[in-house]
Every structure is written in structure tokens, then in C-alpha cells.
Amino acid sequence: MSQDNKPKGSATKLVEAGRKEEWTGAVVNPPVWRASTHLYASEADRKDTLKRNQDGDFYYGRRGAPTQWALAEALTEIEPGAEGTVLYPSGAAAITAALMAVLRPGDTLLISDNAYEPTRSTAFGILKRWGIETRAFDPLDHAAFEAAFCEKTKAVWFESPGSLTMEVSDIPALAAIAREHGAVSLIDNTWASPLGFQPLMHGCDITVMSLTKHVGGHSDLMMGSASAGAKYYKRLRQTAQQLGHVVSPDDAALALRGLRTMGVRLERSTQGAVEVAKWLSSRSEIAHVMCPMMAGDAGHDLWSRDFTGGCGLLSFTFKAGTIEARAKFVDALDLFGIGYSWGGFESLALVFDAETTRSATPWPPSGWQAGDGLGVRLSIGLEDTADLIADLDQALSRMND
Ligand SMILES: *Cc1c(COP(=O)(O)O)cnc(C)c1O
């Protein structure tokens, strides 16, 4: 039985996680339990269930059924330090609900200025209307971060690498500062997933993911999650129930299916992204490649220290491009679709204006060349990397036609 005590590797965990026999029966995957009403054996049974509130207790559809429980349980098992996981109908819903779980009117929130734009929009929009003030901080400036705290600061929102611009933050150092000031640390860990970065082991209290990306992995579902230790898990769960969040069992089954192959997909797309990043760096048309997995990137040392994996997402800017030339470039791509989201099996390209990747702190970030401004983000999928590079090559050659 000594085998049971040996910690299992992440690949083995991805295969085994959440597969309880009482939820799956004799088959490998939990069936899709479509359910609103749950039937009780007796009035005494109904009363007894009322007292408990945990996954595994049949109650009513809004608290899920075995398909959703199996997914939440699997995500908890692969998230070191987590007591439980709450599911949400999208990543954006997870972000808003996690913030609402820890903040109240009069509080101040600090937000990393390179965070996903809809997260900043939630902070400066609905949270403001509910009496919460938000201050953005430069994720690379620790002194300014510390100086931004006041007595009302109750929570800090991190995202690393930052959306679009990919700066890696020193999360252990920043989360330690937040803790000293009595603030809750939340992080959007969609980029790395727990396979690449374990936030709860690096000082964060709550970790949020858009499952739409790597976990789903096939561009056909929307979902989000938040995981935490015992203290914050209860609050997350209660807040989600009060907000009425529930995910469909069909989507939960798809997400579970995606989760089983997430490790090999991420390994493959990471490899492809590093190759593409190196190739782009060698091109005279390109000013700046943002890919922390690549040696030489400004965030590479921190990434190597804290991360155990990456993903297929990277960004770059053109040296002397025009908006029209950049549009020609993405239009000329054959293997890269133009669209939002990422983490699917297919490659995608999305243009962004670098100046709009921030709300408050100075542009360009330190270390960037002047003039860097026209950005493109690539999500590298599972195609042959040589084909992707050939496609980028022909599109670059046509952008000034
Ligand atoms: C896509 C994304 C989200 C939002 O997820 P949805 O499932 O699309 O609502 C949150 N954070 C990051 C970093 C994302 O890329």
C-alpha cells in the first residue's frame, strides 16, 4: 500500500481526478445528469440534506449533480492547496463572483494593470457602482504596489503572465506584501492552469480560471472556475449560490473530457509557441516578441523559477507597421483563424493596440522599444509547427503588398 502514499504525477492525476464510482457507475466518464428536481426518499431525508451543503449531496439542480461535481472535484484534485472548486457559466462570471465574494462597499481593490480587459471593466464598472474603489498597479513595480495600499485595501487581483503583453509578475513577493496588509490575493491563472503554476502554493488565496480555454480545449464550451482553501471556498460557494450560478451538465461533461488531455495538449502547444516565438524574433519586421517561455524574454527568469509549464499563447509587435499592413497580415494567414479566445486545438490570431492593454500605468512598459504599438496575439494550436511558420512567413511577405 506504500504506493498510495507516493504523490502522483500531474499526468496521472489528470487521468484519475474526479472519477468516483458512485458518480460514474461502471462506465469511464460520468454520465450527463440533466436535472432540476432531485427526488428524496422521504421527508426525513429531505430535511437531513437541507442541513448539508456540499458536492455529493443531492438537493436541487442549482447545486449541481454528479456530472458537475465530478468536474469540480477533478479541478480541486489538480490544484494543490485547494479545499474545493466552484464552477461558473463563464470565466468572466467566475471573476466577478470571486471578487464579490471577498469585497464589500467601501473597500478598495488593487488590480494588476495588465489584467484581462473585461476584468478591469468589471472592477471599474459594476464594482464601482457597488461602492468599491479600484486602483491599477504596474505589475513589475513592487515599490509602487506597496505604496498603493491603504486601510481600505481588502483584495488584490493578479494575472501572470499579463493578458496580451505577457509580463511575468513575482507573485510570491507581491502576494506576501498583500498578506502583510491583510488583503486577500486573487489570481487569474487561465494562462498557466495548475499544470504550469500553482497559485495557492505561491501565496494566493483564490485562483480563477476560464475553463473555456485550456480545459475545454476544443473551442466549443464556455465555463469558469474558482478554487480556494477551506476559508475562502465556503464564501465562494455561498456567493455563487446566492448569485444563482450553475453550469450545464452537458458542458461539464465536455470540460471533463477536455481536462483528460489538457497535459499533452499544453505540452505540444508550448513547444510550438516557443519555436514560433524564436522564429518571429529572427525576423526584421518584428519589434518585440512577448513569450516568457522563450530564453531571453524579460519574464523568462521568473517564469523558470515559479512555473512548471506554459501554453501556446504569445504576442508580438511590428517594427514599422501600419494598421492597414497589420490587417493585411492577419487576413493573409491561412491556418490562423481571426477570433477571440485561445487554448483550442486550432491556431488563432488577434490584433490588439498595445496602448489599450493598460488602464492607468505608463506605456510602453519598461524595456520595450519606442514605437512598439501594433500588436498581434497568437494562440498556437496543435498543427505542425513548420506549417504554422510557413503560413506566418507568407503572410509577412504579403503585408506590404
Ligand atoms: C478568456 C479569458 C477570461 C474570460 O473567460 P470566458 O470564459 O471567456 O468568460 C478570463 N481571463 C482570461 C485571462 C481570459 O483569457
> Pocket of ligand 1, candidates 210, 313, 348: which has the most ligand atoms within 8 Å of its Cβ, to mutate?
210
Q: Which of 194, 225, 260 is at the close of a domain?
A: 260
7 and 27 housed in the same domain: yes
92 CB within 6 A, ligand 1:
yes
Mean per-residue pLDDT for 7-34?
94
- In this predicted structure, what is the pLDDT of residue 367? 64
- In this predicted structure, what is the pLDDT of residue 176? 98
- In this predicted structure, what is the pLDDT of residue 2? 47
Taking Cα atoms as reference points, which of 348, 337, 284 lies closest to residue 311? 348
Confidence label for 6 from pLDDT (cuts 50, 70 and 90): confident
SS3 string, 82-121, reads: CCEEEEECCHHHHHHHHHHHHCCCCCEEEEECCCCHHHHH
246 and 321 housed in the same domain: no
Domain tally, the chain: 2
Alpha carbons 382 and 270: distance in angstroms, whole number:
10
- In this predicted structure, what is the pLDDT of residue 353? 82
Taking Cα atoms as reference points, which of 223, 154, 224, 210 lies closest to residue 186? 154
174 and 297 housed in the same domain: no
298 and 349 housed in the same domain: yes
Annotated active-site residue 213? The verdict is yes
Examine the pLDDT at 81 and tell me if it is beyond 90: yes
Q: Which of 200, 225, 260 is at the close of a domain?
A: 260
What percentage of the chain carries pLDDT values higher than 70?
96
Examine the pLDDT at 392 and tell me if it is beyond 90: yes
Q: What is the domain-level CATH number for residue 223?
A: 3.40.640.10
Confidence label for 49 from pLDDT (cuts 50, 70 and 90): confident
Mean per-residue pLDDT for 315-332?
91
Mean per-residue pLDDT for 73-80?
98
253 and 275 housed in the same domain: no
Q: Which of 227, 242, 260 is at the close of a domain?
A: 260
- In this predicted structure, what is the pLDDT of residue 50? 83
94 Cα nearest atom in ligand 1: 9
pTM of the model: 0.96
pLDDT tens profile 277-292: 999 999 999 989 999 9
Alpha carbons 143 and 213: distance in angstroms, whole number:
33
- In this predicted structure, what is the pLDDT of residue 89? 98
Annotated active-site residue 116? The verdict is yes
Helical residues (DSSP H) of 191-342, grouped into ranges: 193-196, 230-243, 249-260, 262-281, 300-306, 323-332
181 and 294 housed in the same domain: no
95 Cα nearest atom in ligand 1: 10
**DSSP string spanning 290-328?**
E-TTSTTSTTHHHHHHH-S---SEEEEEESS--HHHHHH
224 CB within 6 A, ligand 1:
yes
Examine the pLDDT at 379 and tell me if it is beyond 80: yes
Please state which of the ranges 24-38, 168-182, 310-324, 332-346 shows the lowest mean pLDDT.
310-324
> Pocket of ligand 1, candidates 90, 116, 314: which has the most ligand atoms within 8 Å of its Cβ, to mutate?
116
Annotated active-site residue 234? The verdict is no
162 and 301 housed in the same domain: no
Confidence label for 321 from pLDDT (cuts 50, 70 and 90): confident
143 and 130 housed in the same domain: yes
Rounded to the nearest whole angstrom, what is the distance from the C-alpha of residue 342 to the centroid of ligand 1? 9
Rounded to the nearest whole angstrom, what is the distance from the C-alpha of residue 37 to the centroid of ligand 1? 31
Residue positions counted in the chain: 401
Catalytic residue (one of 55, 88, 113, 116)? 116
Rounded to the nearest whole angstrom, what is the distance from the C-alpha of residue 63 to the centroid of ligand 1? 23
pLDDT tens profile 159-200: 999 998 899 999 999 999 999 999 999 999 999 999 999 999
163 and 267 housed in the same domain: no
210 CB within 6 A, ligand 1:
yes
Nearest CA to ligand 1 atom 5: 91
**Which domain, by its residues, includes 184?**
3-260
Count Cβ atoms within 10 A of the Cβ of residue 182 and give its class: 0-12 exposed, 13-18 middle, 19 or more buried: exposed
Alpha carbons 43 and 36: distance in angstroms, whole number:
18
Examine the pLDDT at 220 and tell me if it is beyond 60: yes
Examine the pLDDT at 248 and tell me if it is beyond 90: yes
Q: What is the domain-level CATH number for residue 382?
A: 3.90.1150.10
- In this predicted structure, what is the pLDDT of residue 275? 98
Nearest CA to ligand 1 atom 6: 91
Mean per-residue pLDDT for 335-363?
88
